[in-house]
Structure 1
Amino acid sequence: MEKRRKVANPLALAVLAELLMEPLHPYEMGRRLKEHGRDRNIKYTRGSLYMVVEQLEKAGFVTEHDTIRDTQRPERTLYRLTDEGRDELYDWMRDLVADPRHEYPHFGVALSLLAVLPPEESAGLLNRRLVALTDERDRLRAAVQAAAEAGVLWVFLVDDEYRIATLDTEHRFVTGLIASIQQPDYVRAWQEFFGRQI
């Protein structure tokens, strides 16, 4: 069973990880999340980032470290990780890495209801999906190769490698699904069942 966390937003986990290295201002956290490519896996806005930092502070996982004033920018508060925050980071990471969980992807919802679409339309839409999957997979492969050639350590590319493997698997699945949808037996069964509903 999944643990109930004081702050359960995945953005909070990324903030805790960024603060593991050094105290930071939320703006700098956001800049680093983008720089490290974590914004591909974690959706956030500047406002949501500040809100998560506030929630982490209330939970006792981060605390104010220092306030910086300089003439060009407004006052900035740096936050640091507390001992409780470090424990939460490691516990949460251990949970996520070790325990599989169902994540309710949108495509899974669409697949569970796919029979409502006519077979020809389904096949056309799935072919569009194949093109998009191929484009994303090729783009990611090129980015990973460029990063590896630039000397980026493999562990910093593992999330992209995982996404590539997921895209490869989905591509094979969708290709097979299109073939199944186009089978005359399925088309006939769909017309008998849903043809009257249209």
Structure 2
Amino acid sequence: MSNRSRDSKDSMALTVLAIVGEQPRHPYEIQRVIQERHKSWAMGRTRSLYHAVDRLVADRLIEPVEHSREGKRPERTVYQITEEGREEYLGWLAELLYEPAADEHPIFLVALSFLASLPMAAALDALKVRAIALEGQVAGVEVWQRALQADLRLPRPVVIEVEYFLAVRRAELAWVRSVVEDIEKGKLKWSEDSLRAHFEAARGYRPQGEGEA
């Protein structure tokens, strides 16, 4: 990738580069492709789309090639990817695929790190509710996946992110269920008193040799 200062998580810019990289398009056509291919993270974000186009033009990664107007409609500008833009896009895409982001900390991960702040019964109830929600998500996306494949007949590479989403959600659901089972069977347990005793003991603990002259 180039040394441009751009957020590596700018999903809209990546999406615009991908779609314009296929063939020159104006923003309205980019929106249509996003809708047709069900790229959910970019759907309904018209303002973000136009901002991304402006940034990419400023960075010389895409460029206007045609202006047209139909009747009283606003003028439409067709953009194409530049040679530099294609190089940037392919390098950026490969980097996102091969390199797990070091700063990926979903809020659920943060909440789990403080799980023991809740009484066991409250934590158990919360995880059971999450499991039900995950079951609903998985079932809903499975229906959506079948529709994409059977009705719209979109090629697998075009919607492969749906497979990834399902795999991640199924794995999370299995893990949450296992934690629920461990709490119910007493394999995972805690109390305020036991945690307080642990941390007090930890504060007074010194590794062997520490503090010796």
TM-score norm. by structure 2 comes to 0.80
**Aligned alpha-carbon RMSD (Å):** 2.4
1:1-198 aligned at under 5 Å gives the runs 5-8=4-7, 9-39=10-40, 41-42=41-42, 45-102=45-102, 103-150=104-151, 151-184=153-186, 186-187=188-189, 189-193=190-194
- Structure 1, unmatched stretches of 5+, are none
In the aligned structure 1, how far is the partner of 2:142 from the partner of 2:181?
27
In the aligned structure 1, how far is the partner of 2:80 from the partner of 2:50?
14
Shift in Å at residue 193 of structure 1? 4.6
Whichever of the two has the greater Rg, that structure is 2
Asked whether the equivalents of residues 145 and 162 of structure 2 are also in contact (C-alpha less than 8 Å), the reply is: yes
- Select between 95-104 and 124-133 the one with higher mean Cα deviation: 95-104
In the aligned structure 2, how far is the partner of 1:64 from the partner of 1:29?
14
Shift in Å at residue 182 of structure 1? 3.7
In the aligned structure 2, how far is the partner of 1:96 from the partner of 1:3?
14
Alignment-mate amino acid for residue 175 of structure 2: F
TM-score norm. by structure 1 comes to 0.86
CA shift in 2, pair 1:44/1:180, >3 Å: farther
In the aligned structure 1, how far is the partner of 2:36 from the partner of 2:62?
22
In the aligned structure 2, how far is the partner of 1:179 from the partner of 1:32?
44
What are the superposed Cα offsets for residues 157-177 of structure 1, whole Å, 9 maximum, x if unpaired?
311011111011000111112
What are the superposed Cα offsets for residues 14-69 of structure 1, whole Å, 9 maximum, x if unpaired?
10001012222223222321321212x45772211111111111111011121111
- Secondary structure of 2:154's match? coil
- Structure 2, unmatched stretches of 5+, are 197-213
Shift in Å at residue 186 of structure 1? 4.9
Shift in Å at residue 147 of structure 1? 2.5
In the aligned structure 2, how far is the partner of 1:60 from the partner of 1:158?
30
In the aligned structure 2, how far is the partner of 1:88 from the partner of 1:3?
7
In the aligned structure 2, how far is the partner of 1:191 from the partner of 1:161?
41
